[in-house]
Amino acid sequence: MIGVSAGVVFVTVLASAVFLHAYRRVLDEAFQEKSAAYVLAFADAAHAWLARGDVDAARSAARFLLLGSALYVQVAADGAVVVDERMPSADRLALPAPNLSGGNRSLARGRGDGVPDYLDIVVPERDGAGYVRLGLDLSPVALRARSATLTAVGVAVAFDVALLVALVVVARRRPLSRGASGAGTEELAEGQDLERDAPGGASPLTVDEERKEVRIRGRLISLTPKQYALLRLLSSSPGRVFSDKEILREVWPESGYADAKDVKQCVYLLRRRMGEEDPIGTKVVQNVPGFGYRLALPDDPELTEG
Amino acid sequence: MRRSEKVLGTAVLLGLAVALGLAAQQMSTPAGEEPPIDVRLATMADRLELARTFATLAVFSPTVSDQHLHAQRVVNLLEGTGGEHFVGRFSPEGKVVGLLPEARAIAFFLSRVAPDQGGRGEAALGAKEIVRFLDLALEEALAGLRSRRPEGVALSMRRAFAFLSAALGRAEDAPALGGVRALRALVASLPPKL
């Protein structure tokens, strides 16, 4: 169980790490792609304003961009920077002159004192004499990645917990499930804990429905029909507590006079009969005061001690 | 009646008289104080270009907050100062005459000036179409502002851009289609000048 749990946790942690790595890359690429389009759109407008000689319009729009993700905006024409608007945090940021020789836009990550990580994008003018340059704050990407990390960790933990709970529930139900040793055979199964103590590795308790036989650690026990019906009922769901009423309904279905005393007596006789064959037999059927009776689970301490 | 009460009553009457006089002067100011219609249309065309630029920036913004910033600017340009959704801090130019109120005023003006005479009827029709396109652009920009998904904002702002473009139009279009440039060309050709 511990091995399975460790494996599940390892697999989910690994899957989360792979997912987060891929997601961060997708976020980065999407941000870069959108940012490039954003700067291109602004560059088109800025060049149009400069062509009309309206530097104020370009400057006003540049200032407006600073209200959003932009840390700085530069517009250059004829080799001179005509608009240079910056956030106070980017005032002292040294921006090296961009290389416009290729005529292609350039994207680069940057970091400076007191400035958050940013994406530096330069879009040259078509004739190559000017350019538009924007520094975009990368904090939103980091924030989204962080929230995705928290979500992924939460989902992974929830998945692990759900899986482990399911494993525990299954493990608790399996020990006394129906056996596969033959049609109509019910056995006190999974019984490995009992079997370990049993001589010759025989099945600890088997209820053969076809032959109406009950064996404890391989030894045949002869039971009356009522004792057999009671044991069969209890072994249908080992560990579950059956009330007197349930037992009466199943074992004495036709009798309107049987009561709790009959159940008590039948249990007493069944225990005594099973105890005659094997000391463990007296402990297989357990009394749950105030509720009823149940068949002991294989890992019950009383059985393993016995 | 005491002397001080008499003085006070006289002062109140004088004040009322001055206020009434000012109001009467205000009411008698001719509407012709406004700039000529072709100048107003040229200003509108410039503002429409600016609104289209910000609609484009809203489409391509890398984050939703940037998208909302530019969408708000478009709303400000459309509604103008005093508009229902106008936010002053996103309007660096200060007081803004909204495109929609201006278009409505021009449409009203054109409908009053001899609507049954030749091209003037067409001009009034075109001005009403401009108002409709601007209404639709405002609707889409507000939808963009309400959306929290980047794709949703981008889609709304693309539509807003399309309606703004339709409101701007081309000079060679039929004025009845509802373009400011076409309306401006028509108004310029009407004798006498409006």
CB A109 within 8 A of CB A118: yes
Helix (H, G, I), strand (E, B) or coil at A130: coil
**Domain check: are B7 and B103 in the same one?**
no
**Domain check: are B117 and B143 in the same one?**
yes
* CA pair distance A32, A37, nearest whole angstrom: 9
A226-230, A246-250, B113-117: which has the minimum mean pLDDT? B113-117
The full set of domain ranges for chain A reads 2-144, 178-305
| One-letter amino acid for residue A67 of the chain | L
Q: Which residue has the higher pLDDT, B119 or A175?
A: B119
Residue B194 lies in a domain: no
Vertex A61, ends A55 and A64: CA angle to 5°? 145
Residue B94 lies in a domain: yes
Given a cut of 70, is residue B42 above it in pLDDT? yes
Q: Which residue has the higher pLDDT, A280 or B131?
A: B131
**Domain check: are B4 and B60 in the same one?**
no
Q: Count Cα neighbours of B11 within 13 Å in the Cβ-side half-sphere.
A: 6
**Domain check: are B80 and B117 in the same one?**
yes
pLDDT band at A65 (very low <50, low <70, confident <90, very high): very high
Q: Which residue has the higher pLDDT, B24 or A106?
A: A106
Residues of A contacting chain B (CB within 8 angstroms): 31, 34-35, 37-38, 40-42, 45, 57, 60-61, 63-64, 67-69, 136, 140
* CA pair distance B114, A65, nearest whole angstrom: 46
Best of B52, B53, B67 to disrupt the A interface (most A CBs within 10 Å) is B53
pLDDT band at B61 (very low <50, low <70, confident <90, very high): very high
Q: pTM (2 decimals)? A: 0.62
pLDDT band at A171 (very low <50, low <70, confident <90, very high): confident
pLDDT band at A74 (very low <50, low <70, confident <90, very high): very high
A75-89, A109-123, B141-155: which has the minimum mean pLDDT? A109-123
Given a cut of 90, is residue B66 above it in pLDDT? yes
Q: Do A68 and B92 touch (CB under 8 A)?
A: no
ω into residue A204 within 30 of 0, thus cis? no
- List all residues of chain B from 133 to 162 with a beta carbon under 8 Å from chain A: none
**Domain check: are B102 and B137 in the same one?**
yes
**Domain check: are B1 and B80 in the same one?**
no
Given a cut of 60, is residue A18 above it in pLDDT? yes
Beta strands (DSSP E) in chain A are 70-77, 80-86, 106-112, 115-124, 131-137, 185-188, 205-208, 213-216, 219-221, 285-288, 292-295
Using a CB-CB cut-off of 8 Å, the residues of chain B touching A42 are: 57
Write down the architecture of domain A2-144 according to CATH: 2-Layer Sandwich (3.30)
**Domain check: are B10 and B82 in the same one?**
no
Residue B160 lies in a domain: yes
Mean pLDDT of A260-266: 91
**Domain check: are B27 and B103 in the same one?**
no
**Domain check: are B11 and B74 in the same one?**
no
Residue B174 lies in a domain: yes
pLDDT for the residue A116: 82
pLDDT for the residue A62: 93
- Out of A44-58, A138-152, A207-221, B4-18, the most confident range is A44-58
- State the SS3 of chain B: CCHHHHHHHHHHHHHHHHHHHHHHHHHCCCHHHCCCHHHHHHHHHHHHHHHHHHHHHHHHCCCHHHHHHHHHHHHHHHHCCCCCCCCHHHCCCCCCCCHHHHHHHHHHHHHHCCCCCCHHHHHHHHHHHHHHHHHHHHHHHHHHHHCCCHHHHHHHHHHHHHHHHHHHCCCCCCHHHCCHHHHHHHHHHCCCCC
The residue among A83, A87, A93 whose CA lies nearest residue A72 is A87
**Domain check: are B118 and B95 in the same one?**
yes
Using a CB-CB cut-off of 8 Å, the residues of chain B touching A29 are: none
pLDDT for the residue B182: 93
pLDDT for the residue A7: 81
Using a CB-CB cut-off of 8 Å, the residues of chain B touching A38 are: 57, 60-62, 66
Given a cut of 80, is residue A242 above it in pLDDT? yes
* Domain encompassing residue B9: 1-33
pLDDT for the residue B99: 96
Domain A178-305 CATH (choose: 3.40.50.150, 3.40.50.180, 1.10.10.10, 3.30.70.1140): 1.10.10.10
- List all residues of chain B from 77 to 106 with a beta carbon under 8 Å from chain A: 90, 92-93
| One-letter amino acid for residue A157 of the chain | V
Strand A205-208 to strand A80-86: parallel, antiparallel, or no bridges (unpaired)? unpaired
Mean of all residue pLDDT scores within chain A? 81
Strand A80-86 to strand A70-77: parallel, antiparallel, or no bridges (unpaired)? antiparallel
CB B77 within 8 A of CB B51: yes
**Domain check: are B78 and B99 in the same one?**
yes
Domain count, chain B: 2
Measured in whole angstroms, the distance separating CA A101 from the mean position of its chain's CA atoms is 52
Mean pLDDT of B33-55: 91
pLDDT for the residue B165: 96
Q: What tens digit of pLDDT does each residue of B71-117 get?
A: 999 999 999 998 999 998 888 777 889 999 999 999 988 888 755 56
**Domain check: are B58 and B18 in the same one?**
no
Using a CB-CB cut-off of 8 Å, the residues of chain A touching B46 are: none
Q: What tens digit of pLDDT does each residue of B8-25 get?
A: 677 666 665 555 444 444
pLDDT for the residue B56: 97
